[in-house]
Chains A and B, each alone.
Chain A
Amino acid sequence: MSFLVKTEIFEKYTQLILEGALDSATAPQFSEEVRKIIPQKPQVLVLNVEKLDFMSSAGLRVLIFAKQKLGTTAMLFLVKPQEQLVETLKMTGLIFSVNIVDTYSE
């Protein structure tokens, strides 16, 4: 299964499409992708996680890092997270810091 991440930069938002399993082995790939987009300071970061089957705290730490670097005004959207991921976000209180949506458009 492993992990794939793809970045799409649009005029008003940046989208990362995540697929597979985000754990301690694969989080560095996600982190690297996030570090690439931080200098552009996107104010809307959309993470399409529909095909993300697993996420541990290693992935959550990258999410927190991204939001901390992008600043308080930046919005973080999660597109179609699987039920188990939503449970992890609830458990860690992160659910209140992200916007969960079925689709994202400008």
Chain B
Amino acid sequence: MKPQFQFQIFKAVPDSLEPMRNFISAFGSVQSIDKNKIYKLCLAVDEIAANIINYGYPLAGINDGTIKVLIEYSDKKLTIVLEDYAIPFNPLKQILPTQEDLDKPIEDKPIGGLGLLIARQSVDDFNYEFTDGNNRNIFVVDID
């Protein structure tokens, strides 16, 4: 039987981003999930993981942090949970660039917030929890 659940723990360093995406892609490939959906899921996960690595752990003063990536496929939904113990950070409470910002010419475009915008728009559902000292970013993609 194909695995329906997997997890892997990665060091919270930029060089883990590619192995993290490869882990997700490999799971998607085994489950025969559409490559475009997997790309978008990888993109969303990459954006949030990069924030944890670049800001979350450094702001917490932790230099050997980890990110646990859990994948579950059931009921036509592919769910990924990223768990970290960096500073609490709720991506849903951040102000995203507005349509007006996005419509601005590139010369006036604000650089901040693009990653979170991409993360939230690339999946069907995005949630956040803070439990037992852990941030849990939850990404859900509907599989037809």
Q: Give the B-binding residues of A (Cβ under 8 A).
A: 1-2, 21, 23-25, 54, 56-58, 60-61, 64-65, 67-68, 71-72, 76, 83-84, 87-88, 91-94, 96-97
| B111: interface (CB < 8 Å) | yes
Interface of A is mostly: helix
| In the complex, residue of chain B having the shortest beta-carbon distance to the beta carbon of A67 | B106
Please state if A23 and B117 are interface contacts (CB–CB under 8 Å): no
- Shortest CB-to-CB span from A66 to chain B, Å, is 9
Q: Is B125 an interface residue (CB 8 A)?
A: no
Chain B interface residues (CB < 8 Å from chain A): 14-15, 17-18, 21, 36, 39-40, 42-43, 46-47, 50, 53-54, 97, 101-107, 109, 111, 114-115, 117-118, 121-122
Q: Is the CB–CB distance between B17 and A23 below 8 Å?
A: yes
Q: In the complex, which residues of chain B have a beta carbon less than 8 angstroms from the beta carbon of A94?
A: 106, 109
Q: Which residue of B lies closest to A28 (CB)?
A: B14
CB of B65, distance to nearest CB on chain A (Å):
15
Whole-angstrom distance between the alpha carbons of A2 and B14 in the complex? 12
List residues of chain B with CB within 8 A of the CB of A57: 47, 114-115, 118
Instruction: Give bound CA distance, A72 to B47, whole Å.
Output: 29
Q: Please determine whether B14 and A91 come into contact, CB atoms closer than 8 angstroms.
A: no
Considering the complex, give the chain B residue whose CB is closest to the CB of A1. Answer: B18
Q: Which residues of B contact A96 (CB under 8 A)?
A: 103, 105
